[in-house]
Amino acid sequence: MEGSSSLGRADCRAKGGAPRFKVAILGAAGRIGQPLAMLMKMNPLVSVLHLYDVVNAPGVTADVSHMDTGAVVRGFLGQPQLENALTGMDLVIIPAGVPRKPGMARDDLFKMNAGIVKTLAEGIAKCCPRAIVNLVCNPLNSTVPVAVEVFKKAGTFDPKRLLGVTTLDVVRANTFVAEVLGVDPREVSVPVVGGHAGVTILPLLSQVNPPCSFTPEEVNALTDRIQNGRTEVVEAKAGAGSATLSMAYAAAKFADACLRGMRGDAGVVECSFVASQVTKLPFFATKVRLGRTGVEEIFPLGPLSEYERNELEKAKKELAESIQKGVFFIRN
């Protein structure tokens, strides 16, 4: 139980009066879900943490709930408990879904995962339509449109509140660029735009902060490594799934940025795959400013190198097909 004998139980949770938020993780017993649950339990902006899965949710909940941090943890198992898991939530993170095995493309997951996202989005539309949603489930370029179509059908769609999590691409880009520059990755910030699959992942190496320059060979090699970082992990895990620990870290980092925006912090900027008018496509990942209601500003692409302009055309072509696939899944 939380608190100590000298403090009232409610006082213990509201101490300092700082805003704190109710967060649900759907797919919390998975290989991303478990470390993500641990990281969110450590986040001081979280007051209540709901852990939902179709398997093993009670075990993960019991385990995480023993951590002596502020968030109150509750577990929910199976479809009949989905509504209770979602009711009253401010932020919902969705790492539910089947992961890739060697030889599979993210798109091979579409049929299984689109159905999972549909069910979970229907629950959100019904029980917490004002929640901000962080979608992790692959193939992200198609599952975000699936969720949007579900929300549109339910009459609850708010483009500011649905965010596809592409932070792992940014995390990888920062790490790989820092390796080449020989600096600490925490000092590097690489915008990654487009989407979250192969050529749709477009790191803007001409816009790295702090400013630096690369040879054409370095640009080629870095772009290729960032686009295929996922395959490094899938192959190294040799059948045991895809990135989970770096992904949980990335999802927790992104969720923390959303919570800081929701609290009213100024200047919270992250890359995310959102409904956008930056290109002619209905969805695109760019830098966005996060605020009390989710995405409060979408930044333009900024000046691109010739290499990036060419890569952007390839990204847009593949993205258009993936987006259409998601829309089609619900409309037909």
Q: Could you list the active site residues? A: 196
Phi-psi region of 320 (alpha: psi -120 to 50; beta: other; left: phi over 0): alpha
Q: How far is the CB of 32 from ligand LMR (least distance, A)?
A: 9
Sequence-distant (6+) residues with CB within 8 A of 198 are: 105, 106, 227, 228, 318
Helix (H, G, I), strand (E, B) or coil at 4: coil
Residue 208, both tokens: 């790295």
Considering the complex, state which of residue 89 and residue 252 has its C-beta at the smaller distance from ligand LMR.
252
Q: How many CB atoms lie within 10 A of CB 246?
A: 18
Size of the site for ligand NAD (CB under 6 A): 33
Binding mask 211-250 for ligand LMR (x = CB under 6 A): -------------------x--xx-------xx-------
| Interacting partner of 191 out of ligand NAD, ligand LMR, none (Cβ under 5 to 8 A depending on kind) | none
Binding mask 218-257 for ligand NAD (x = CB under 6 A): -----------------------xxxx--x----------
Considering the complex, state which of residue 85 and residue 247 has its C-beta at the smaller distance from ligand LMR.
247
Has 20 been labeled as part of a binding site?
no
Element (H, E) at 10: helix 9-14
Q: How many CB atoms lie within 10 A of CB 146?
A: 26
Q: How far is the CB of 217 from ligand NAD (least distance, A)?
A: 27
Binding mask 125-144 for ligand LMR (x = CB under 6 A): -------------x------
| Distance separating alpha carbons of residues 270 and 38, to the nearest angstrom | 22
Give DSSP secondary structure letters for 45-109.
Answer: TEEEEEEEESSSHHHHHHHHHTS-SS-EEEEEESGGGHHHHHTT-SEEEE--SPPP-TT--GGGG
Considering the complex, state which of residue 136 and residue 188 has its C-beta at the smaller distance from ligand NAD.
136
Binding segment toward ligand NAD, per CB under 6 A, in 61-69, 90-98, 278-286, 301-309: 90-98
Residues 136-155 that bind ligand NAD (CB under 6 A): 136-138, 140
Which among 110, 284, 105 is positioned nearest to 197, based on CA atoms?
Answer: 105
Which among 323, 332, 324 is positioned nearest to 164, based on CA atoms?
Answer: 323
| Interacting partner of 233 out of ligand NAD, ligand LMR, none (Cβ under 5 to 8 A depending on kind) | ligand LMR
Which among 119, 113, 118 is positioned nearest to 79, based on CA atoms?
Answer: 119
Size of the site for ligand LMR (CB under 6 A): 10
Buried b (16+ CB within 10 A) or exposed e, 1-18: eeeeeeeeeeeebeeeee
- Taking each helix axis as running N to C, give the angle between helix 140-154 and helix 110-127, from 0 to 180 degrees, rounded to the nearest 10: 40
Has 194 been labeled as part of a binding site?
no
Which residue sits closest to ligand LMR, CB atoms considered?
230
Would you mind telling me the total number of residues written for the chain in this entry? 332
Q: How many CB atoms lie within 10 A of CB 78?
A: 12
Residue 160 sits in the site that holds ligand LMR (CB under 6 A): no
Q: How far is the CB of 190 from ligand LMR (least distance, A)?
A: 15
Q: How far is the CB of 91 from ligand NAD (least distance, A)?
A: 16
| Interacting partner of 113 out of ligand LMR, ligand NAD, none (Cβ under 5 to 8 A depending on kind) | ligand NAD
Q: Which residues bind ligand NAD (CB under 6 A)?
A: 26-27, 29-33, 53-55, 95-100, 109, 113, 116, 119-120, 136-138, 140, 165, 168, 196, 241-244, 247
Q: Which residues bind ligand LMR (CB under 6 A)?
A: 99-100, 106, 138, 168, 230, 233-234, 242-243
Annotated binding site for substrate: 100, 106, 138, 172
